[in-house]
Amino acid sequence: MELREKRDESVRRILEAAMSVFAEEGYSGARVDEIAKRAGLNKAMIYYRIGDKLVLYTEVIHSLFGDIGSAIKGNIPADATPEEKLKIYIRGLALTIADHPYLPGIMMRELASGGGNISELVAEDFASILSIPANILTEGVNKGAFIKTNPVILHMMVVGFMMFFRTTEPVRKRYFERLPEDVRILNEKSISEGVNEVERLVLRAIKA
Amino acid sequence: MELREKRDESVRRILEAAMSVFAEEGYSGARVDEIAKRAGLNKAMIYYRIGDKLVLYTEVIHSLFGDIGSAIKGNIPADATPEEKLKIYIRGLALTIADHPYLPGIMMRELASGGGNISELVAEDFASILSIPANILTEGVNKGAFIKTNPVILHMMVVGFMMFFRTTEPVRKRYFERLPEDVRILNEKSISEGVNEVERLVLRAIKA
DNA sequence: AAATAGATTAACTAAAAAGTTAAATAATCT
DNA sequence: AGATTATTTAACTTTTTAGTTAATCTATTT
């Protein structure tokens, strides 16, 4: 194999392994040896190519949040109605979370620890994501389609649901039998059906 | 001081210190020495009175989730309308979270790691909490007040908002200037104003 | 007040995990 | 093909942290 290919391949594998381990165990819980093992490489490679554990973690966080904001924004056509835009935004969030299985775990842990590792850059991504529902709601209010609503609350309700739905899955599965009827039914459904319902509820909530 | 008092006081201080450290750092990130330091006691006291790190953690988790379910349930008068009941339920959740500042951090981390430390007992508490909105919604549908809605989705949207609102606070504060106008306004407001809005949105969403 | 039992600690050990180094292997260049 | 440069590893050191122990201090009992 070519040298550059080898190097890039190694870096890719380290970052991927690191992401999975950090998502499962958190920063302190993650073992550098375990990351190396999953990457199929010697531990020294991590220090040689990336740096120490903290640098590696920062790298992983950055690569995870870096491209999310733009991805969601891109999907919304300018000429759509506010309702359509809001639907696309909700769907975009759901798709992003589906595409990045490690996102909820890492994000929830990051927030739990006060977001100390969230860089300037990532903060900008967050602000950029928040501006999407903010703009849609403003447009909707101006066109008389929506009532005045705080976009952050809406955003947090939607994202909150998605994160909780995903991360409670193991617990819901484990204690299946004792769950109320409604929960059991939802348990069998996919997240996309849940998202449909969220979409419906949100639109009912804010329609003028 | 009396011997029994001394013992109880030590245990109390250990548990309190442990909760704060576990909330801030997570299980693996928490240092037993740090817990002892915050408790103002020697580390050996922890092993003498409680047990090893995992026993201590389990104890903390249990004491945290143990009495929450019943606390919320207790507040809802049987003769209230479904709308009133739903409001009380949302308020009850908000109050609980306000009363237990370490709850969001610990819960989010627990979920992020697959809830491996959530005991049978705590799972029962969760199921019991979920049954509250489930019953209210059913009653509301039967009385023609609400449309048919999945209670888990509703619950997760509400709880999701509250947890995110609390845990994103440091990040929101830190990057204050770059936030969109709406977010900045909300930032200055208290959580209770956020809860009001959530209440309003939820009721609009499900009203028949 | 002397003896006893329980609370508390300082100092220790053992284990685990992060991080380093020098040597080996593989690709690239002349 | 041989010299050179980059990748990769096995084996090591250092640091951190959980957990223990034996001694000390303090309240209680006789």
Instruction: Find the DSSP H helices in chain B.
Output: 3-29, 32-39, 43-49, 53-65, 68-74, 82-99, 103-112, 120-142, 151-167, 169-174, 181-188, 191-206
Q: Is there a single domain that holds both residue B124 and residue B197?
A: yes
Q: What is the pLDDT of residue A183?
A: 63
Picking from A159, A126, A140, the residue whose alpha carbon sits closest to that of residue B179 is A126
- For residues A121, A167, B162, B182, the Cα torsion angle rounded to the nearest 10 degrees is 30
Range of the domain at B178: 66-206
Query: How many contacts (CB atoms, under 8 Å) link A and B?
Result: 208
- For residues A27, B63, B38, B113, the Cα torsion angle rounded to the nearest 10 degrees is 0
Q: Is there a single domain that holds both residue A144 and residue A110?
A: yes
Cβ B180–A124 below 8 Å, yes or no? no
Helix (H, G, I), strand (E, B) or coil at A207: strand
Q: Is there a single domain that holds both residue A144 and residue A74?
A: yes
**Domain end residue (candidates: B35, B64, B93):** B64
Helix (H, G, I), strand (E, B) or coil at B146: strand
Here the CATH number for the domain that contains residue B35 is 1.10.10.60
Instruction: Give the Å distances, CA to CA, from A142 to A84, A87, A199.
Output: 15, 18, 21
Q: Enter the tokens of residue B11.
A: 């245990």
Here the CATH number for the domain that contains residue B178 is 1.10.357.10
**Domain end residue (candidates: B64, B81, B99):** B64
Question: Is the C-beta atom of A30 closer than 7 angstroms to strand C?
Answer: yes
Q: Is there a single domain that holds both residue B111 and residue B173?
A: yes
Instruction: Give the Å distances, CA to CA, from A80 to A88, A96, A132, A150, A160.
Output: 10, 21, 14, 21, 26
CB < 7 A from strand D, the residues are A 3-4, 6-7, 9-10, 40-45, 48-49; B 1-4, 6, 30-33, 43-44, 47-48, 52-54
Show Cβ contacts of residue B99 under 8 Å, excluding neighbours closer than 6 positions.
none
Q: Is there a single domain that holds both residue B78 and residue B18?
A: no
Mutation test of the interface with chain A: which of B54, B110, B152, choosing the one with the most A Cβ atoms within 10 A?
B152
Q: Which residues from chain A sit within 8 angstroms of residue B124, using beta carbons? A: 178
Helices A103-112 and A3-29, packing angle to 10 deg? 50
Q: Is there a single domain that holds both residue A169 and residue A98?
A: yes
CA distance linking residue A53 with residue A46, whole number of Å:
9
Q: What is the pLDDT of residue A15?
A: 97
Q: Is there a single domain that holds both residue A43 and residue A89?
A: no
CA distance linking residue A46 with residue A105, whole number of Å:
23
**Domain end residue (candidates: B12, B38, B64):** B64
- Count the domains in chain A: 2
User: Which portions of chain A are predicted below pLDDT 70?
Assistant: 69, 179-190
Rounded to a whole number of angstroms, the distance between the first and last alpha carbons of chain B is 62
Degrees to nearest 5, angle at CA A195 with B113 and B165: 55
User: What is the distance, to the nearest Å, from the Cα of residue B35 to the centroid of all Cα atoms in its chain?
Assistant: 22
Q: Is there a single domain that holds both residue B70 and residue B161?
A: yes
Can you give the pLDDT of all 208 residues of chain B as single tens digits?
787 888 899 999 999 999 999 999 999 999 999 999 999 999 999 999 999 999 999 999 888 887 776 777 777 888 999 999 999 999 999 998 888 999 999 999 999 988 776 777 777 878 888 888 999 999 999 999 999 998 888 999 999 999 999 998 888 888 777 766 666 666 666 677 889 999 999 999 999 8
- CA B20, A116, A133, A74 torsion-angle sign: negative
